[in-house]
Amino acid sequence: MHKDIATPIRTKEILDKYGFAFKKSLGQNFLIDPNILRKITEYAGLTDQTGAIEVGPGIGALTEHLARSSKKVLSFEIDQRLLPILADTLSPYDNVKIIHEDILKADVKTLVAQEFEGISDLMVVANLPYYVTTPIILKLLADRIPLRGIVVMLQKEVADRISAKPGTKEYGSLSIAIQYYTKAETVMIVPKTVFMPQPNVDSAVIRLTTLDKPAADVVDEVFFFLVTRSSFAQRRKTILNNLTSQLPNGKEKKEQILDALAKADIDPTRRGETLSIQEFARLSNELHPIFN
């Protein structure tokens, strides 16, 4: 067994060897606690038949745990300076491929199909760079990559929003966008002390399990997400006020919006945060013919 990368001493040795300096703009915070990495790997339920997709491997701390537990790891790293370090730290593992590309610009679906041919169990497991957490998760879900699920470390505050239930102050369009595709649960809170350098916020590990079919039946997904975003535009406003001010020509169509709310059995004075995904689906299906 090779010495874990994720110890403070080993991490410092690697960084010193390469003269590596952290870039704040890339949200680089490296984990230095092997126990937490083991737990993340366990939550992902990896087997020797799993293909693991990672974003932002850093110096390979989580990557090596994934390599030990899965059949193959495909890892996206945007920072050129980390490529020689990863080639070195991951040299004991022949089942890792590093792609030097921004995952938000990459054709992930095609890459996954090529690299994981014959592998049907796919999981995303990552310690995500905090400044792009949400766009990365949304892209992975929207691209309809056939994932079993996603287990990622992210800011605790974002984890709270992703797994929030209706009627809470954390609940919003992000909760809906992710819970439309997955079952979301926060499985672990992670203190800032296990990172180098320490971030300013606490972190959490969230597990998203892909649903067999979306959580609600909608006529038009793009429009459904537009309606949910519009409903939370100003949280203190009623659903009627938000929809009339946010949807195209909403003010002129106020009567039709009221009509749609009535048909969907939703009181126009409610606030967006009180509506379930199913209620938003009914509402967007009623509004769809008015705006399309």
Percent of the chain exceeding pLDDT 70 equals 98
Nearest Cα to Cα of residue 70 among 115, 114, 107: 115
Confidence of residue 24 (pLDDT cuts 50, 70, 90): low
Average pLDDT on 39-58 reads 96
Q: For residue 23, what pLDDT is reported? A: 73
In a shared domain, residues 54 and 164:
yes
- pLDDT band (50, 70, 90) for residue 209: very high
Last residue of a domain, one of 162, 182, 210: 210
Asked if residue 251 and residue 126 are part of one domain, the reply reads: no
Domain boundary among 210, 236, 262: 210
182, 51: one domain: yes
Q: At which residue do the structure tokens 């760079």 appear? A: 129
Percentage of the chain beyond pLDDT 90 is: 85
- Is 2 within the bounds of a domain? no
Which tens digits make up the pLDDT trace of 12-21? 999 899 988 8
Whether residues 190 and 243 share a domain: the answer is no
Domain boundary, last residue among 183, 210, 237: 210
Closest CA to 127 of 69, 41, 2, 21: 41
pLDDT at residue 27 tops 90: no
Is 54 in the same domain as 117? yes
pLDDT at residue 31 is higher than 80: yes
Q: Average pLDDT, stretch 249-278?
A: 97
User: What's the rounded Cα separation, in Å, for the pair 204 and 201?
Assistant: 10
CATH number of the domain that residue 274 is part of = 1.10.8.100
The mean of the pLDDT values for the chain is: 94
Confidence at residue 198, expressed as pLDDT on a 0 to 100 scale: 85
- Do 154 and 244 fall into the same domain? no
| Residue 241 scores a pLDDT above 90 | yes
Residue 56 has a pLDDT of 93
Output the known binding site.
29, 31, 56, 77, 102, 127
Nearest to 164 by CA among 269, 37, 272, 282: 272
Considering the domain boundaries, does residue 215 fall inside one?
no
Residue 1 lies in a domain: no
118 & 259 share domain: no
Q: Is 161 found in the same domain as 107?
A: yes
In the predicted structure, residue 1 carries a pLDDT above the cut 60: no
pLDDT at 30: 85
Does 248 share its domain with 284? Answer: yes
Q: For the segment 152-163, what is each residue's pLDDT rounded down to a tens digit?
A: 999 999 999 999
Alpha-carbon distances of 268 from 225, 243, 250, 261, rounded to whole Å: 19, 10, 14, 6
Range of the domain at 131: 8-210
Position 232 confidence tier, pLDDT thresholds 50, 70, 90: very high
Residue with the larger pLDDT of the pair 25 and 235: 235
Question: Residue 22 maps to which CATH number?
Answer: 3.40.50.150
Strand 96-99: give its sheet, edge to edge.
Answer: 96-99, 72-76, 50-55, 121-127, 149-155, 203-210, 182-190
Per the annotation, binding residues for S-adenosyl-L-methionine are: 29, 31, 56, 77, 102, 127
Q: Are residues 179 and 71 in the same domain?
A: yes
| 242 shares a domain with 114 | no
Least confident of 14-28, 73-87, 183-197, 210-224: 14-28
Total domains in the fold of the chain: 2
- 159, 187: one domain: yes
Q: What would the mean pLDDT of 78-95 be, rounded to a whole number?
A: 95
